[in-house]
Structures are given as C-alpha cells and as structure tokens.
C-alpha cells in the first residue's frame, strides 16, 4: 500500500488536526513500530505499521460529522475547568471522541461543526480555504451611520482583517439594529471587537451558516449527522 503522511493518518484517526498532529510528533508523543518519530513529513503504511499515541495503539475511526446548535453560555471546547458547560456535555459518550471544529465564543450561539475528522477540521479552519461563515447580529449604539464601516478592513492582533459582507440591515427599535455579516476568516471575537471599535455593543450574535450548511430548523442544544458535502 502507498504510504501516507503520519500527520494525515493521525488526523484521520481523530487524534488531532494535521497541525495538532505535527505538534504531537515534535513533542515525541508518537511512536511507529515502537520507535519515537519526531520527523515531520514521516510516512507510514497503515496496514503494516503500528502507530501509538501515549502508549495506546491508534486505528482509523469511522468518520462522524455533526451539525450542532451551540447555546449561548456554552464554552466551545471539550474540557474547561472554569466553564459551567462545554460542547462535550451535549454528546453521548457512545459517539466516541468528538472535537469542535473552530470556535464560537461563550456569549454567542448558533451553528458549529463537531467531528472526529481532523482533516475536515483543517479544511474548515485553515485561513487559505476562506470558507464563509454567516452571522445574524443585533447591535446597539447611538449612530447608525457607522454600520456601513463593518465592510472595511481592521487591524486586529497585528493582522489586517478581510472585508466582511453586510446585508439585511434593519432597525429593530430605537438605537438597535439587526444585520447579517459574512466572514471568510475568524479572528478571536472579531465581530464583537470591530463593533466596539465602531461604537456599538453586540446584543445578540448567532452563527447561521458555515459554507453552504445552514442552521435552519436545528434547535438550541441539538445536533444532527451530516456529510462533508453538506458543508463544502
């Protein structure tokens, strides 16, 4: 059988994303046929070679991809000792190891992808792929004229953001507006931070689309099985 890259194999087994797998390899946490392998780009034969992570033999898992409606107040990690509730609390243990693909901050709600497929995680989170993510946002402020500036570029974390798309802008009540924003990247709390720069407070933020996958009728705290083609 043709050899595959070790990091790709680890990602397919649900151990980590490819980048995360590279970190495990560098840290000396992966063995192949009893020998620690630290060479990035190392290849293996999945049919013949024995791969271990922290002493446990690794085997490919059946790919599982879930669309999940993360409720507000839930932390989008599997484990956090400071969190009241995490994404992992919503999935039965019989489904095996599942990881959130990307993040959605605690104060936000809406569509997330949860999967054991590290390669999918890489496709959806790596900046070069520029997959669209759409959000319904309600903001509060004194001046509606600044709203159009959401489509401009802003410097966050010494990085110049890509322009957002703005649509469905309408007044909800005095000093409060609703709109949809589409991003092709995901800087930490990007929409909230830009809103703050423009003089607004985000009242509600809900992600309603990732790629071509839409939240639609999925209820808060619920999930459903999907396929990669439903997203990309």
Q: Region 159-172: what's the mean pLDDT?
A: 93
Among residues 45, 84, 89, 105, the one annotated as catalytic is: 105
- The burial of 176, by beta-carbon neighbours within 10 Å (0-12 exposed, 13-18 middle, 19 or more buried), is given as middle
Q: Per-residue pLDDT for 58 more than 70?
A: yes
- Give the chain's mean pLDDT: 89
Q: What is the pLDDT of residue 78?
A: 76
Domain 65-127+213-230 has CATH 3.30.70.580: yes
Q: Region 112-134: what's the mean pLDDT?
A: 81
105 alpha-carbon distance from chain centroid: 10
Residue 189's alpha-carbon distances to 8, 67, 88, 195, in angstroms, are: 29, 21, 21, 10
Give φ, ψ of 228 to 5 degrees.
-55, -35
Q: Residue 81: which pLDDT band, with cuts at 50, 70 and 90?
A: confident
> In the chain, where does the domain assigned CATH 3.30.70.580 lie?
65-127+213-230
Catalytic status, residue 157: no
Q: What is the DSSP letter of 221?
A: T
Name the pTM for this structure.
0.77
Residue 161's alpha-carbon distances to 96, 112, 158, in angstroms, are: 36, 22, 9
Q: What is the pLDDT of residue 63?
A: 84
Q: Per CATH, which fold does 4-57 belong to?
A: 3.10.290
> In the chain, where does the domain assigned CATH 3.10.290.10 lie?
4-57
- Checking DSSP bridges between strand 65-70 and strand 159-160, what pairing results, if any? unpaired
Q: Per CATH, which fold does 132-210 belong to?
A: Alpha-Beta Plaits (3.30.70)
Q: Per-residue pLDDT for 203 more than 90?
A: yes
- Which neighbouring-strand residues pair with 49? none
Q: What is the pLDDT of residue 137?
A: 97
Q: What is the pLDDT of residue 149?
A: 93
The rounded distance, in Å, linking the Cα atoms of 61 and 160 is 38
């Amino acid at each position: 059988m043709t050899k595959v890259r070790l990091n790709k194999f680890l990602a397919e087994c649900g151990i980590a994303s490819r980048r995360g797998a590279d970190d495990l390899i560098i840290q000396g946490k992966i063995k192949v046929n009893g020998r620690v392998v630290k060479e990035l780009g190392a290849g293996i034969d999945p049919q013949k070679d024995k791969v271990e992570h922290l002493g446990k033999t690794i085997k490919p898992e059946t790919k599982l991809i879930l669309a999940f409606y993360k409720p507000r107040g839930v932390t989008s990690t599997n484990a956090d000792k400071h969190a009241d509730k995490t994404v992992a609390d919503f999935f039965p243990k019989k489904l095996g190891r599942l990881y959130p693909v990307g993040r959605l901050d605690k104060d936000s709600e809406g569509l997330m992808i949860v999967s054991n497929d590290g390669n999918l995680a890489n496709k959806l989170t790596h900046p070069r792929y520029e997959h669209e993510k759409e959000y319904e946002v309600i903001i509060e402020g004194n001046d509606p004229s600044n709203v159009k500036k959401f489509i401009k570029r802003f410097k966050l974390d010494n990085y110049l953001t890509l322009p957002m798309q703005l649509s469905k802008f309408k007044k909800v009540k005095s000093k409060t507006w609703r709109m949809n924003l589409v991003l092709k990247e995901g800087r930490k709390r990007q929409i909230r931070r830009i809103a703050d720069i423009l003089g607004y407070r985000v009242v509600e933020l809900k992600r309603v689309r990732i790629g071509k996958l839409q939240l639609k009728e999925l209820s808060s705290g619920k999930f459903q099985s999907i396929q990669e083609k439903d997203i990309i």
